């Protein structure tokens, strides 16, 4: 197990280094400079700013400085928000996005699995059809439409939840629902398929031949085996939820980190974009690392391959 962890850890580190390096150079391929959009600045001032932030240095030197800072966990200062460090902005805004993402994830994980199991258990019956119908809708309807619908129904008509903003737990419910819906839908479909595959396995027949009751068979023999192929996707789904949260934050006027990310790219705020990309990269790679460990715990056949 120790070797397995070590190998995964090294691969993760290499991945993060690749993310950082690639995004550093790709960003510099974009035309223009961070201060070109501010029309009011005279050329001399732009030059002065470029000098100040070290942007006139040779690219390799800038890369080395960036990597050196990165190793110290320092993402540098934002080029747009004068005087604010990228670390500071992450520390302030990320918890909000994280709360939203986490709530959506925690909601969608069990619900998606539950719906999938229910649909498979009632295959070909009304419950199955409605769950499949729901999941097709959930996957295909874009987030902003779901958001508007939820806002219209629950905030404007029924007046149960606030329309937007991020103040209390009450405010978080609609955005969480919006964000998790697609995830629930996708997982329902996957889980249903996996369950149906497992139902026809020989060991399920063995379990039945032992005289176990239907719930016992589902619980002890089907669910665990059905979930295994789904585990690797759980890491990728974190990415999906993160991306979705950028849009949802916009719609519900949530002061999360999404807006900063999007704005930093369009305004060529190099340090901010890089910092956030690497930060999210580490986050996603870390999540996948943990998922890989869980995979080994759930499936004994993986555990042996050290």
Partner 1 sequence: MNEHLLEVRNLAVSFDTYAGEVQAVRGIDFTLDAGETLAIVGESGCGKSVTVQTIMKLLPSPPSRIKSGSILYRGEELVTKSDKEMENYRGKEFSMVFQDSMTSLNPTMRVGNQLCEGIIKHQKVSHAKAKEIAIQMLRQVGLPNPEKCFRRYPHTLSGGMRQRVMIAIAIACNPQILFADEPTTALDVTMQAQILDLMNNLKKDLGTAIILITHDLGVVAQMADRISVMYAGKIVESGTADQIFYNPRHPYTWGLLGSMPSVADSARRAKSELFSIPGTPPDLFAPPAGCAFAARCRYCMGACQKLDAPEFQADDGHLVRCWLLDERAPHVTPPIGRHAALNSADEEGK
Residues in contact with partner 1 by the rule CB under 8 A: 201-203, 205-214, 216, 220-221, 224-225, 228, 298-301, 304
Measured from the CB atom, the residue of 72 and 301 that comes closer to partner 1 is: 301
Residues linked to residue 77 through DSSP beta bridges, in sequence order: 85
**Which residue from 156, 182, 298 is spatially nearest to 248, judged by alpha carbons?**
182
Q: Among all chains, which residue has been given the structure tokens 């958001």?
A: 147
Q: How far is the CB of 301 from partner 1 (least distance, A)?
A: 5
Q: Alpha-carbon distance 50 to 22, whole Å?
A: 22
Cβ-contact 60, 52 below 8 angstroms: no
Residues linked to residue 85 through DSSP beta bridges, in sequence order: 77
Measured from the CB atom, the residue of 247 and 302 that comes closer to partner 1 is: 302
Q: Alpha-carbon distance 287 to 291, whole Å?
A: 6
Measured from the CB atom, the residue of 28 and 303 that comes closer to partner 1 is: 303
Give the helix ranges, DSSP H, for the chain.
Answer: 2-29, 43-52, 59-71, 86-121, 126-140, 143-150, 169-199, 202-209, 214-217, 223-227, 231-251, 258-266, 270-298, 300-304
Q: How far is the CB of 295 from partner 1 (least distance, A)?
A: 12
Q: How far is the CB of 226 from partner 1 (least distance, A)?
A: 10
In degrees rounded to 5, what are phi and psi of residue 77?
-100, 150
Q: How far is the CB of 302 from partner 1 (least distance, A)?
A: 10
Q: How far is the CB of 6 from partner 1 (least distance, A)?
A: 24
Q: How far is the CB of 193 from partner 1 (least distance, A)?
A: 17
Measured from the CB atom, the residue of 122 and 263 that comes closer to partner 1 is: 122
Measured from the CB atom, the residue of 279 and 295 that comes closer to partner 1 is: 295
Q: Alpha-carbon distance 93 to 112, whole Å?
A: 29
Measured from the CB atom, the residue of 25 and 219 that comes closer to partner 1 is: 219
């Amino acid at each position: 197990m120790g070797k397995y962890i070590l190998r995964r850890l090294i691969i993760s580190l290499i991945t993060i280094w690749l993310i950082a390096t690639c995004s550093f150079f790709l960003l510099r391929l974009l035309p223009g400079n961070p201060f070109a959009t501010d029309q009011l600045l005279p050329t001399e001032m732009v030059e002065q700013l470029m000098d100040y932030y070290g942007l006139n240095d040779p690219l390799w030197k800038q890369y080395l400085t960036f990597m050196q800072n990165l190793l110290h966990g320092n993402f540098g200062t934002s080029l747009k928000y004068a005087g604010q460090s990228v670390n500071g902005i992450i520390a302030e805004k990320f918890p909000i996005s994280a709360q939203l993402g986490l709530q959506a994830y925690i909601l969608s994980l069990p619900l998606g699995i539950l719906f999938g199991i229910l649909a498979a258990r009632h295959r070909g019956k009304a419950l199955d059809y409605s769950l499949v119908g729901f999941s097709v809708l959930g996957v295909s309807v874009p987030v902003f439409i779901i958001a508007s619908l939820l806002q219209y129904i629950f905030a404007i008509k029924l007046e149960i939840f606030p329309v937007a903003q991020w103040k209390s737990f009450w405010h978080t419910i609609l955005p969480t629902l919006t964000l998790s819906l697609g995830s629930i839908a996708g997982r329902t479909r996957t889980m249903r398929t996996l369950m149906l595959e497992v139902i026809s396995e020989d060991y399920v027949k063995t379990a039945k031949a032992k005289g176990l009751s239907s719930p016992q068979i589902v619980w002890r023999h089907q669910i665990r085996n059905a979930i295994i192929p789904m585990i690797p996707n759980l890491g990728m789904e974190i990415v999906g939820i993160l991306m979705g949260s950028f849009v949802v934050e916009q719609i519900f006027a949530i002061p999360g980190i999404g807006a900063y990310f999007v704005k930093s790219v369009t305004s060529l705020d190099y340090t901010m974009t890089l910092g956030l990309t690497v930060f999210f990269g580490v986050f996603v790679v870390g999540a996948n690392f943990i998922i890989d460990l869980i995979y080994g715990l759930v499936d004994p056949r993986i555990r042996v391959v050290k």
